[in-house]
Amino acid sequence: QRPSSGWGTPEQITNPEYSTTAFLKGLKQVDGWQDMPLTEAAQTVQVSAYPDAYAQWEQQAADLVAQYWNS
């Protein structure tokens, strides 16, 4: 997330709660995100110059969600 892309100020985007909320708001605007591969959904929201880079973090993200969801 970059300030130049409208995600917020440098201070905001380095705040994990703010960044997560901003990402999730963007994700909810993507039609069919629930049925997309994780990396495709992330790329649709983030519009990264390196769209395949998300795949390397997929397992770590899944582990974090499993650990902290509803905790």
Domain-wise residue ranges, the chain: 3-69
Neighbours of 42 (CB within 10 A): 24
- pLDDT tens string 4-53: 888 999 999 999 999 999 999 999 999 999 999 888 999 999 888 888 88
d(CA 59, CA 71): 19
- pLDDT tens string 54-69: 899 889 988 988 998 8
Give the ranges where the chain is alpha helix by DSSP (H): 10-13, 16-28, 38-46, 58-68
- pTM > 0.85: yes or no: no
